[in-house]
Structure 1
Amino acid sequence: MRRVLVLLACALVLVSCANVPQESLPVVVSVEKAPQQANNAPEPPANAEPLDIVRLFIKANADPRSGNAASRAFLDDKQRGAWRPNRSFTIIDKTFSTVYDPTASTGPTTTPTPSSAAPDPNVRTVTVRGSVLGTLSADSAFIPSSGPAEQTFQVRKQADGQWRISSPPPPVLLVTDDEFDGNYNPVVVSFYSGDSGSFAPDLRYVPAKPQSGMPGRVMDLILQGPSAGLTGAVKNLFGDGVSLENNVKNNDDGSLTVQLSGLTGVGPDTRSLIAAQIVLSMQTVTSTRIRLLADGAPLVAGHEYWRSSDLPSYNASSSPNGLMTAGGRVRSLSDGAPIAGAVGNGAYPVVSAAQSIDGKRLAVVEQDGDRVRLRIGDLGRDLPTVDLGGGSLSRPTWRPAQIGAGPSNEVWTVVDHSIIARMVLDPNGHWLRQSVNANDLLALGSIGVLRLSRDGTRVAATVNGQLVVASVVRSSDTVTLREPRVLQPGVLTDVLDVDWGSTPDTLVAATSSPSQPVQRLSIDGRRMDAYNSSNLTAPVRAVASAPSQPIVVADAGGLWTATELGEVWRPQAHSMQNADPFYPG
């Protein structure tokens, strides 16, 4: 019997081998569960009413884990498997409403008639209404907006007596702002600005959980490139063939390992910039050492482990002293004395002024009868007039110079609230007028104030009392302002002045509001915090801000300074009536 069994087994093996092909292609078998499975999400509360089901669905939308499993738990079996939400979503105020829709059909009865179908008690239509605050785009950037939001859901009682959403949910999710803040973390991803030789911030938002995966999410954003709002204004250091060889890994010694591939042939200068970009971008999610590898070797030869302290400074050095205009003269903020030269002795009736970031040059708007004109030159010397004038010129603003390349050679101003002119120094020492394509910005209204960022990639402007940020895109012969975005639309109004904040990703705005005259905003407008209003008299008409310097504002009583949001404003030591303060930039 044993011999018979052995012979039968051999025969079966031979038959099986006859069906095996000589050669086959390898197939990757995925064992990942389909995203629609909500096994790891809690079921909705038992016996929840349709209004509560929809409200809890909106609340759960902010949790993106496991293919939005937390939201799928509120859908019936059919929709749970079919729903494919977009990567982008709309953020609404947390005080939204859910109401039964009296005009919508609640569904047919089990025995419908053509003329008198009774409402189905097992089907309810629920409408969500809220106020839009903005959207999170597919590239993980916040885009501010305003207006009403409305979505309608059909909710059906299931066989087990529980209500579930039975209509296909809209692909664009509604997410409340409080749940968004609780489930997403802001990260500042750095991108290289060839214009200034520095790194510009690109504020993005990534899922907060699991926290251990944050460095990997930041690395994904770096490889994807800048957001739409910064595309063209910065340089993407990574070519199309660059990728992560392995996931970002936490090492036993507490460090992180980032292994890249596809950088063969990339020169040492670019490799050093890539290392700086990664280390700077990781600052918001880790303080540990980062091991950077590329194609099996250290990304930068002889330098395998990195901290932010290992990086050189990529920010242009700024003059530490602020200035102010008062009584037609330019004076020092530190002691109130007029500065040297014609702008300080009253030879020019100065309306406004701006100092280059390195402190070496000055541009002033001078009163010329019933018109104004521009003068540009070296600090402390006579300033020649340039071929630019008008009924009004905004306070000038300087383009940053490349680090180590000498003084800035470009200054901008707005002519008659409608034309942005940039004066460029040619090799022969002449300041020539060049244009800026600002059609997208001007479509929003007339421009009051214009400030170039210290990295040269953006402008902040006041447009019809609103605060707007746009990117600066340079080609070989043109400069264009793109992607203008109104920050805190409908909330922040009557903005009179703006300056770039103490960090590259913040702004400070002065408004005519008596209760909150000075505001600090994130560069995308997602966050806005009010400074203390004590001692200030509305309107606050001017503001000056710079890294490592106190904020200075001007109101009807003079100049005031503060360093923190909650700090009471103190009189500036050398305040003067009608003085306008400014830092280099």
Structure 2
Amino acid sequence: MIRGRFRVLLAVFACVVTLGGCAAIPAESQPEAIPRERLGQPTQEVPEPTPDLDPLSVVREFVRASAQPTNDHAAARAYLSGNTRREWKPDQSLAIIEDEFGTVYGPGTQQSPDADERLVMLRGNFVGRLGSDSAFIPSDEPVQVPVRLRLQADGQWRIVDPPDSLLVTYSDFNDSYFRVPVYFFAPDSSALVPDLRYVVARPQSGLPARVMDLLLAGPSNGLSGAVRNPLGESATLESNVTGANDGALVVPLTGVEEQSLQDKELIAAQVVRSLQYVTTSRIRLLSDGTALVPGHIDWRPSEVPAYEAQASPSSELPGLMAVEGVLRSLGTGAPIDGPAGDGAYKVESAAQSITGDQLAVVERVGPAVRLRVGDYGAEDRIVDLPGLTMTRPSWRPATSSGGKSGELWTVVDGSNVVRVLRGPDGRWLPQSVNASEVLAVGPITGLRLSRDGSRVAMIAGGHVVVASVVRAPDGSSVTLRAPRILQAGELHSVVDVDWISQDTLIVATASDSIPVARVPVDGLRLDQFNSSNLTPPMRAITAAPGRPIVVADASGLWTASDVGDVWRPHPHTRPEAKPFYPG
């Protein structure tokens, strides 16, 4: 039933589930930027398959061996017949399937009359695929792949017609690949944006080179157009990424000498933050043999400016909650100053800007709602945006440090995604966003911009959908691109979503089985929170970097900091409260 509801959107992702797909991954286990690094490395010996396997077992073991990409997938080739072993050229798309899969003989009508040939059907469910950009794209489509085998002269069954694409199980993928955030920047601010990618995990010594290869190739397809890449298209490595005698990791860039000092500092942040997950060494950043940033040759993550601060609310802002038409502080429980706190508005939902000095309020007026926007604590201006329903607003970060935000988003009547812009005269003007691909999933009942402004998380058709925010060069229009449905089979009846970090979401549902969950922005995994003390259904949830999660259930507000924590009553809990942090 779920799959039927997503048929339109999944057509956009046809290459996700087509085994002749449009994506590729490195065919080698060591996709370093400089091939010379492989010279002198011993060739890994590939054992022959266990003797006398039946056709069903051969196919199963072939799938298990496909997770080992060394030597042009030699481990998987060992299960192919002699000619096929030499000629097989998989299209290099990596399809990830659930651990539980079946191999059964194909129907008799499809079997060869030759007793030495067998057709085996591989059945299961997709988890997703790894694209040519090494980014994961989720899918929940069924798997049904025909594999033909033939009995060889030595009495062993071998595959003569293998799949066009490599298939690996979820567990084997996690064992063989390492997730790393590769960093770019928000298009018109200095907020760093993580781009989740996956590299071959072994040998570990090659991880820095593999990460640099991804960084130099630019953002993933899903983030293309939504982020800025100071490295540009001309940047390359002059030679290998290597370790120096003094323990530093040398990254010898070329093609960036013409960049401004400001962009070189941003490049340093990109490289150092991207490599911090795969090395503890100092990063020696060179440009054509000299320091990339004059006077600063060796870098550690602690020496990179806190670019993330622009996308994180201050710890001095405790958050707010909407309670019976009034806004109250999550820190004290008291009503806030101004009309939003004294009952002048009938507040249905609201959003505080990341810097805390602006407020957007959805106000109930009879059967309809209206949006008010203004300074925190002051009377807010009414926006000309009529509607019967309106999602809780979400603020875009300011484009300059210390400045005010000039944009917020909401969804009117489930189908009109709107960004509201501050005009030169101070008025707030609505402009529709092209969200056609997301609306193909279903009505949108929730929306949260990431606090760096490059992505948006939405509740569409009861499911979590993440898309990139692509702005026209002149800022005249915005399109939501590359939507991904996250954990479609597990996360349904979603009631609220928020960003716990720039690459991770927290989700509240009306489901008794998974009331609260954490999911990365690519949807590869799902972590379920302890449900002790919670009374389903959940009503709302909020999260922010370094803050406890606050969830509203049928009885009130509860807090927790991590997946295994037991939920504790919020000190200012109220039965009807809907909490929210700035953003």
Fold match (TM-score > 0.5):
yes
Q: 369, 373, 377: which one pairs with 1:372?
A: 369
Distance in 2 of aligned mates of 1:85 and 1:580: 51
Give, in angstroms, the shift of residue 138 of structure 1.
1.2
Q: What's 1:531 paired with?
A: 529
Q: What's 1:570 paired with?
A: 568
Give, in angstroms, the shift of residue 87 of structure 1.
2.5
Q: Is the 8 A contact 2:37 2:240 kept in 1?
A: no
Distance in 1 of aligned mates of 2:272 and 2:194: 13
Distance in 2 of aligned mates of 1:568 and 1:180: 31
Q: What's 2:83 paired with?
A: 78
Q: What's 1:318 paired with?
A: 313
Distance in 2 of aligned mates of 1:199 and 1:364: 29
**1:136-215 map, 5 Å:** 136-167=130-161, 169-215=162-208
Q: What's 2:541 paired with?
A: 543
Give, in angstroms, the shift of residue 195 of structure 1.
3.0
Q: What's 1:299 paired with?
A: 292
Q: What's 1:20 paired with?
A: none
- Paired letter, 1:102: P
Distance in 2 of aligned mates of 1:155 and 1:413: 55
Q: What SS is found at the alignment partner of 1:78?
A: helix
**1:333-372 map, 5 Å:** 333-372=330-369
Q: 459, 463, 478: which one pairs with 2:460?
A: 463
The 3 A distance-change label for structure 1 pair 195 and 240 is: closer
Distance in 2 of aligned mates of 1:247 and 1:544: 44
Give, in angstroms, the shift of residue 175 of structure 1.
1.1
Unaligned runs of 5+ in 2: 1-34
RMSD: 1.8
Q: 272, 276, 282: which one pairs with 1:279?
A: 272
Instruction: State the number of aligned residues.
Output: 541
TM-score, structure 2 length as denominator? 0.90
Q: Is the 8 A contact 2:44 2:71 kept in 1?
A: no
2:380 maps to 1:408: no
- Paired letter, 1:539: P
Q: Is the 8 A contact 1:38 1:69 kept in 2?
A: no
Q: What SS is found at the alignment partner of 1:68?
A: helix
- Paired letter, 1:443: A
2:66 maps to 1:61: yes
Q: Is the 8 A contact 1:96 1:131 kept in 2?
A: yes
- Paired letter, 1:302: G
2:119 maps to 1:125: yes
Determine which structure has more spread, i.e. the larger CA radius of gyration: 1
Q: What's 1:243 paired with?
A: 236
Give, in angstroms, the shift of residue 59 of structure 1.
0.6
Q: What's 1:487 paired with?
A: 486
Q: Is the 8 A contact 1:40 1:69 kept in 2?
A: no
The 3 A distance-change label for structure 1 pair 432 and 39 is: closer
Distance in 2 of aligned mates of 1:31 and 1:561: 50
Q: What SS is found at the alignment partner of 1:434?
A: strand
Q: 259, 275, 291: which one pairs with 1:266?
A: 259
- Paired letter, 1:80: R
Give, in angstroms, the shift of residue 38 of structure 1.
9.2
Give, in angstroms, the shift of residue 373 of structure 1.
0.5
Distance in 1 of aligned mates of 2:560 and 2:477: 40
Q: Is the 8 A contact 1:154 1:165 kept in 2?
A: yes
Q: What's 2:582 paired with?
A: 584
Q: Is the 8 A contact 2:453 2:469 kept in 1?
A: yes
The 3 A distance-change label for structure 1 pair 31 and 338 is: closer
Q: Is the 8 A contact 1:516 1:532 kept in 2?
A: no
- Paired letter, 2:482: E
The 3 A distance-change label for structure 1 pair 338 and 259 is: same
Distance in 1 of aligned mates of 2:368 and 2:38: 71
Q: What's 1:522 paired with?
A: 520
Distance in 2 of aligned mates of 1:39 and 1:158: 25
2:93 maps to 1:88: yes
Give, in angstroms, the shift of residue 454 of structure 1.
0.5
Q: What's 1:116 paired with?
A: none
Give, in angstroms, the shift of residue 360 of structure 1.
0.5
List per-residue Cα deviations over 1:456-487 (Å, max 9, x = no partner): 00000000101000000111111111111100
Give, in angstroms, the shift of residue 241 of structure 1.
2.5
Give, in angstroms, the shift of residue 31 of structure 1.
13
Q: What SS is found at the alignment partner of 1:166?
A: strand
Q: 391, 399, 402: which one pairs with 1:394?
A: 391
Distance in 2 of aligned mates of 1:122 and 1:349: 77
Q: What SS is found at the alignment partner of 1:407?
A: coil
- Paired letter, 1:420: V
Distance in 1 of aligned mates of 2:338 and 2:466: 35
2:49 maps to 1:49: no
- Paired letter, 1:78: N
Distance in 2 of aligned mates of 1:203 and 1:30: 27
Q: What's 1:499 paired with?
A: 498
List per-residue Cα deviations over 1:251-305 (Å, max 9, x = no partner): 3333211111112311111111111001111122122211111111111111110
TM-score, structure 1 length as denominator? 0.90
Distance in 2 of aligned mates of 1:193 and 1:31: 33
- Paired letter, 1:170: P
Distance in 1 of aligned mates of 2:36 and 2:284: 30
Q: Is the 8 A contact 2:236 2:254 kept in 1?
A: yes
